[in-house]
Chains A and B, each alone.
Chain A
Amino acid sequence: MAGLYIHIPFCKQACHYCDFHFSTNLKSIASVVDCICIELELRKDYLKGELVDTIYFGGGTPSLLPTESLEKILTQIALFFPGKRQEVTLEANPDDLNPQALATWKSLGIDRLSLGIQSFQDPILKAYNRAHTSKEAKQAIQLARAAGFEKFSIDLIYGYPHSDHSLWHLDLEEALRLDPGHLSAYSLTIEPKTTFGNWTQKGKFSPAEDEFVAQQYEWLQEQCDKAGYVQYEISNFSRPNQAAVHNSNYWKRSPYLGIGPSAHSFDGESRGFNPSSNPSYAKALAKGIVPLVIENLSSSERINEEILTGLRTHWGVDTESLAERYRLDILEIKKGPITKLTALGMIHTLGKTLTLTRKGQLLADSIASEIFIDSHDLS
């Protein structure tokens, strides 16, 4: 089974933290959607016949697409990637939700919403330059439920620099009170080409200290645990059986096809990248050319990606499976760092599976890098 990701590179306004590819020039929506439809046809064989069982509209802001654009894209998908779907997700902003839009999305086959709430506090929403208010954020969940969406996720951001944790505690309390089946929470990271990045460089904005952010993450873990959520990935929590299928498949390294400007694809052996520019993307596709840059992954790169993504999930890294596929005993080759990290309480080994402890989840990426292999480790 495979996934299909469609990147919708448009937003009403730029959020101060966001470095995903998007444009606020909404006049080019129709032409980019046409190009997305062309790309779907040109790349119909990318997945080598694997059935597409999950579709994910990400962005940008997919919920601002006019109905006819969504109809066009989904018709094209139905023709070139036929089959039954397990999950069709649309990222939606609270200010785009209304009963009519929700009914239309449902009739299009969209059965899961990922709601970009980020915060329920108006001062923070304003600081992030979000287009919605706290009231709209709360209403969004009620509207989605009333429209019959059983599967939805709330996105939150923690780590905004503030004198104390009170606003984050209120945000999480509100989110859990609304009882979503799925919750994603990401720490505020300051990226260079964003307003916050620019302000930070000019000394107008100071990001929160690591310790402050770590305390908020620990609070998140504790509260979600108390509320009965399963933490199945560093930033993702769900009610039992409500984990995001599409995203879980990324972490399990299933193949996926990414369509649209800046979208990435993965066929099991190589990665493909579309340009992060709407004009460059449209120009190439208008000529019938897929503007894809391919990066072939070496065996060691594939293994290290598996270590990195596996450690971030509660499924962990299946070292037995790695041994079978690459003739590599990682528990032996990396015995030194694994023993050290186990003694420090950062990782544990259950049978042949390596997983992070709760303490280790705070340092996931640097722990993974200690277990990374070099090409000479492969015989």
Chain B
Amino acid sequence: MADAFQDLLKAYRLEDTYQEKLLISSWPELVGKTIADRTSNVYIKDKKLFVKITSGPVKKELQLNKSKVIALIESQIGKGIVEDVVFL
């Protein structure tokens, strides 16, 4: 059933949009409460994930560990959804 759903998404070229939406809606579970409560906006544009962070220390840590964030997205949601992450 899951495979059939993925095939359908591919056929209609909706796979990317679906995974982007999944990533945005999964952001709180993906990063946990500390970061989620300090996130005011998440969106994807041109394969870049933009995350508005309201806390300076959290933003700094995330910027320093950008590759870790991408690795986390790849392991939990899937590969190739985003190529870069920008913390605003």
Smallest CB gap from A74: residue in B: B34
Q: Is the CB of B72 within 8 A of A68?
A: no
- Which of B33, B38, B57, B65 interacts with A79 by CB under 8 Å? B65
Q: Is the CB of B61 within 8 A of A37?
A: yes
Q: Is the CB of A78 within 8 A of B32?
A: yes
- Which of A69, A71, A84 interacts with B34 by CB under 8 Å? A71
Contacts of A76 in B (CB 8 A): 61, 65
Q: Is the CB of B35 within 8 A of A78?
A: yes
A75-B62, A107-B37, A108-B37 known; A82+B57 contact, CB < 8 A:
no
- In the assembled complex, the CB of A57 is this many whole angstroms from the nearest CB of chain B, namely 13
Answer whether residue A337 sits at the interface, using C-beta atoms and an 8 A cutoff: no
Smallest CB gap from A81: residue in B: B32
Q: Is the CB of A82 within 8 A of B30?
A: yes
Contacts of A71 in B (CB 8 A): 34, 38, 55, 57-58, 61
C-alpha gap A79/B64 in the complex (Å): 11
Q: How large is the interface on B (under 10, 10 to 19, 20 to 34, 35 or more residues)?
A: 20 to 34
Q: Is the CB of B32 within 8 A of A72?
A: no
C-alpha gap A82/B68 in the complex (Å): 11
Smallest CB gap from B53: residue in A: A75
- In the assembled complex, the CB of B26 is this many whole angstroms from the nearest CB of chain A, namely 12
Q: Is the CB of B68 within 8 A of A79?
A: yes
Answer whether residue B86 sits at the interface, using C-beta atoms and an 8 A cutoff: no
Q: Is the CB of A108 within 8 A of B69?
A: no
Q: Is the CB of B72 within 8 A of A107?
A: no
Contacts of A77 in B (CB 8 A): 32, 34
- For this complex, 17 residue pairs linking A to B, each with C-beta atoms less than 8 Å apart, are A68-B57, A72-B57, A72-B60, A74-B34, A75-B35, A75-B58, A76-B61, A77-B32, A77-B34, A78-B31, A78-B32, A79-B31, A79-B69, A82-B30, A107-B34, A107-B37, A108-B37
Q: What residues make up the interface of B, taking CB atoms closer than 8 Å to A?
A: 29-35, 37-38, 55-58, 60-62, 65, 68-69, 72, 76
Q: Beyond A72-B58, A72-B60, list 14 extra A-B contacts (CB 8 Å).
A: A68-B57, A71-B34, A74-B32, A74-B34, A75-B57, A75-B58, A76-B65, A79-B65, A79-B68, A82-B32, A108-B33, A108-B37, A109-B33, A109-B37
Q: What residues make up the interface of A, taking CB atoms closer than 8 Å to B?
A: 37, 68-69, 71-72, 74-80, 82, 84-85, 107-109
